[in-house]
Structure formats: C-alpha cells, structure tokens
Amino acid sequence: MALENPLLPYIATITKVIDETPDVKTFQMVFDDPGVFEVFKQKPGQVAQISIFGVGEATISITSSPTRTGMLEFSIKKVGRLTSVIHQMEPGMKVGIRGPYGNHFPYEMMKGKDLLFIGGGIGLAPLRSLIDFVLAPENRKDYGKVEILYGARSSADLCFKYDLFDNWPKQPDTKVYVTIDRPEEGWDGHVGFVPAYLEELNPNPQNKVTITCGPPIMIKFVLQALEKMGYSEDQVVTTLELKMKCGIGKCGRCNIGSKFVCVDGPVFTLRDLKKLPPEF
C-alpha cells in the first residue's frame, strides 16, 4: 500500500502516555492498520499532523527515532485548546495522523562528524529523534562523539529525564550537559542559561556539526555564540516549527519569503536562515 493522499489522516491508537513535565506529555501511538507504518517511513526531524476528531489538528514533531519501529512518539506541550484536549487523552483513545512532512536532519552529511546537540525546553523533542537515531547500535559507528547540552527553566521543566540522566550518559562517547535557569533547592547541577553554558563549555568546532532547537531567544544567542566560537554557517543546523497548517506547501500559512517551512524546512542550516527575509 502507499499513502497516496497526503491530506488523509490515518487512525491511530494512543498506547502510552508519559508525563514529562507539568505541561508536556509524550504520547506513544500505533496505527490501527499496521501496514500504514510500513510506508510512513519518517526520518529524523520530520513532523506530522495530529488530529483530534471534532477539535482540529496541529503540527507536532515526531519525537521518536525511525529506528524504533512499530510506533510513533509525540511530545506535546499544552499551549492551547487542541493540545489541552490531547493532554486529557488516555491509552486506548483514537487520533488521526497524517504525514510525515518536511525535510529532515541531514544525517548523511553528518557521518564521520562529532555532533553537538543544543536544546531548550520542548525544543529537545525534535532533537531526540536524531539523537536516538545516531545512538542506535546499527548507526553508532557512523558518527563520532555525541554531546548534548540541554536546559530548562527548572528541574521540573526538564523533558526526557530518563534519557538525560540514564539512557544517554550510558552510551559510548556520549556526554550530557544539563542546566536550569535559576538555583533551586535540591538541584546540585549547573545553573544558567543555555547560551551562557555553551560559551562556558566552548566546544571546539573542528570536525563538528551542531544541531539546535529551542525558544527563539535561546536560538538567537546560541547562534551568536557558535559564530564567535568559529563555527561555519554549514556546521550549524536548526529546526523551525511554526505556523504550519496543510503540511504540503499549499495553504501559504508557513511561508517565509519564497520558502515554505512545511516543505523546505523545518530543518535549516545557518546559511539557509541567513537567506530568509529580514523580518523573520
């Protein structure tokens, strides 16, 4: 079978719900027709449209790596009506999924390189699809050292704690740096904003690609810091996930100049970003 109609959602069932933070949950979902997953074939960094019947649909990053077969994961922050409804859903309930949409992280170009992931808040969700792809046993030999720098407002706002403090640090040649914005009782880890921690770590750009996603203000200062450290425009990759609606470049909701985020993105290099209109 093939997913011939890109606008047609396919029925899926929520199989597991993980409480990540007070306002972020991760939903594991499986297609009711197993044959759909066989042709879905998402790549790290792509997005999908999740629809709630009678409510609407929203663009959500696919959080799980394609190396994890048979199911999809979506980490969703409660920010509006639809996401509030999703947050009330439980295992066994039905949703619609269509996609995958957009380009993907250039994982072929990254082979043989060291990788530095820089995330903030829910921005770790799309990065996680690539982190787990790179760390998967069948792919690990293709990549060098992996460093993950991640921060959130507080320890309670850290997503994927099981990966940050357990799964990822156990992987060979993998280092995880975690920070929170302000001191808090019981936290003995690093304190400070992500861009400042990045400058403190001062990672050498030689043979390295950095991939970043997070709040716009974080990305702004991270990009400035990376340029000061000597990273070239092609060594910096980021992902923009805003304004998308149809997912196939037809509705004009997500265009930035001549570029459609849902088709030409959501993944861009710093060189790509600098070609976008100045109002962006």
Q: Name 204's Cβ contacts closer than 8 Å, sequence gap at least 6.
A: none
Q: Which residues are known binding-site members?
A: 246, 251, 254, 262
Domains within the chain, CATH numbers bracketed? 10-101 (2.40.30.10), 107-239 (3.40.50.80)
Helix 194-201 / helix 216-229 crossing angle, nearest 10 deg: 20
Specify binding-site residues for [2Fe-2S] cluster.
246, 251, 254, 262
Q: Nearest to residue 61, comparing CAs of 40, 77, 84? A: 77
Percentage, residues of the chain above pLDDT 70: 90
Whether 122 shows a pLDDT value over 70: the answer reads yes
Mean predicted confidence (pLDDT) in 199-208: 97
pTM: 0.91
Q: Mean pLDDT of all residues in the chain?
A: 91
276 Cβ contact list (under 8 Å, min separation 6): 256, 257, 259, 268
pLDDT of residue 133: 98
Q: By percentage, how much of the chain surpasses pLDDT 90?
A: 72
Number of neighbouring beta carbons within 10 Å of residue 109: 12
**Dist. CA 179–CA 20, nearest whole Å:** 16
